[in-house]
């Protein structure tokens, strides 16, 4: 029978905490950039300018049909070279965190844009007509009338997607970047305590994500009258 020894977890808590902050940082950047770029993509997709809407459709469909692991591998391959050329960095410079953030932001934007597009389309047409009747331009009516209502309806979905995003950040493992999961794996590997560390990591993710999804559900109940 396996004998558990949990002693390496308390000892490495600072390292694990550092990993968790990396996970949070990637989530936060990808969330903010993803929603901004996703909104732009959704507006392009709904635009009457055909090339814009084709571009957005192509972008979204491409990213949605490729595994996240592949997207991350691409970004760990390309972004470092790009940054090195741009800033004349040495080959040794660690660009993995930036690569991960860029990769996640561009990938998540495709998913966010679909949520936002549905949100915009759920606003009734009369709103646009009313804004036009008040003499607003298209840009004004989107910014002042449609998007505020759309975002209000979308908050629960956007937050649920953020929880999925937080779980997905563990995939930066493919670049050996020490996010929370990577840190836990490294400690387990070092101390020969992979069983305990993986169970601990799973439990931490579960508590965080279950708590967050419970909060989202409460919010949703409060929002629906």
Residues 47-66 that bind other proteins (CB under 8 A): 62, 65-66
Binding window for other proteins (CB under 8 A); candidates: 46-54, 93-101, 133-141, 203-211: 203-211
**Residue 124 within binding range of other proteins, rule CB under 8 A:** no
Q: Return the number of the residue (40 or 159) whose C-beta is nearest other proteins.
A: 159
Binding window for other proteins (CB under 8 A); candidates: 12-20, 25-33, 137-145, 206-214: 206-214
Rounded Cα gap, residues 166 and 23, in angstroms: 7
Out of 73, 97, 136, 155, the residue judged to bind other proteins by CB under 8 A: 73
| Nearest distance in Å: CB 82, other proteins | 9
Q: Which residues bind other proteins (CB under 8 A)?
A: 2, 62, 65-70, 73-74, 77, 81, 85, 163, 167-168, 170-171, 173-174, 181, 185, 194-195, 198-199, 201-202, 205-206, 209-210, 213
């Amino acid at each position: 029978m396996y004998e558990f020894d949990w002693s390496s977890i308390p000892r490495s808590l600072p390292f694990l905490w550092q990993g968790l902050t990396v996970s949070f940082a990637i989530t936060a950047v990808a969330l903010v950039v993803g929603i901004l770029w996703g909104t732009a993509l959704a507006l392009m997709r709904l635009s009457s300018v055909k090339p814009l809407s084709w571009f957005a459709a192509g972008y979204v469909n491409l990213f949605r049909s490729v595994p996240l692991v592949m997207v991350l591998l691409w970004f760990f391959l390309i972004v470092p070279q790009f940054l090195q050329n741009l800033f004349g960095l040495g080959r040794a410079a660690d660009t993995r965190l930036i690569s991960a953030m860029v990769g996640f932001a561009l990938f998540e934007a495709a998913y966010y844009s679909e949520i936002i597009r549905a949100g915009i389309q759920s606003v009734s047409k009369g709103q646009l007509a009313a804004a036009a009747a008040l003499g607003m331009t298209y840009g004004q009516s989107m910014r002042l009338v449609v998007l505020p209502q759309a975002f209000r309806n979308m908050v629960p979905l956007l937050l649920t997607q953020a929880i999925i995003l937080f779980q997905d950040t563990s995939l930066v493992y493919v670049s050996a970047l020490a996010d929370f999961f990577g840190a836990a794996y490294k400690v387990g590997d070092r101390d020969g305590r992979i069983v305990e560390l993986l169970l601990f990591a799973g439990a931490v993710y579960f508590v965080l994500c279950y708590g967050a999804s419970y909060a989202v559900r409460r919010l949703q109940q409060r929002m629906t009258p």
